[in-house]
């Protein structure tokens, strides 16, 4: 048998309004000032026309703070979100949920990548990589002497 409960939107609204803001201490465990880690970068990988297409969500990151390294079939993305401004003497931060710091994400693709032809674009917080596959070495018969 199902339990029936009365819905009271006013209580939920008040609870949500005050939860973590005025009732708890102002310190927030996800603030990003050394105590917490940034969330892992979300990555999609597809394959098209002999190349890997990688899309990575990097919200709040500037283009110059992103570094991509390719080593054979391993791809490493490194991004840093920097604190934009520090609180002044007469300013008191009441609540902060924005995270600051560095995130690193590495993954291995099924086949090696041709680094010389790799391309990267960054727009609206999404990094798009086009990573052409390296041509496989041709099989060679060796004559026995």
Tens digits of per-residue pLDDT, 62-84? 899 999 999 999 999 999 887 77
Output the pLDDT for position 21: 44
82-97: per-residue pLDDT in tens? Answer: 777 776 778 887 887 7
Output the pLDDT for position 33: 46
Q: Which residues of 68-103 are buried (b: 16+ CB within 10 A; e: fewer)?
A: bebeebebebebbbeeeeeeeeeeeeeebeebbeeb
Tokens 């603030």 locate to 31
Cut 0.75: pTM above it: no
Chain Cα centroid distance, residue 18: 30
């Amino acid at each position: 048998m199902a339990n029936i409960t009365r819905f009271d939107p006013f209580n939920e609204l008040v609870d949500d309004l005050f939860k973590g803001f005025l009732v708890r201490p102002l310190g927030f465990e996800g603030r990003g000032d050394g105590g917490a880690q940034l969330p892992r970068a979300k990555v999609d990988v597809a394959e098209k026309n002999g190349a890997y297409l990688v899309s990575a969500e990097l919200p709040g990151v500037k283009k110059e703070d992103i570094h991509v390294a390719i080593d054979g079939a391993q791809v490493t993305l490194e991004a840093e979100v920097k604190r934009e401004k520090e609180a002044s003497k007469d300013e008191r931060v009441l609540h902060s949920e924005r995270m600051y710091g560095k995130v690193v994400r590495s993954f291995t693709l099924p086949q090696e990548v041709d680094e010389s032809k790799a391309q990267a674009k960054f727009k609206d917080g999404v990094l798009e990589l086009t990573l052409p596959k390296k041509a496989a070495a041709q099989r060679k018969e060796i004559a026995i002497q």
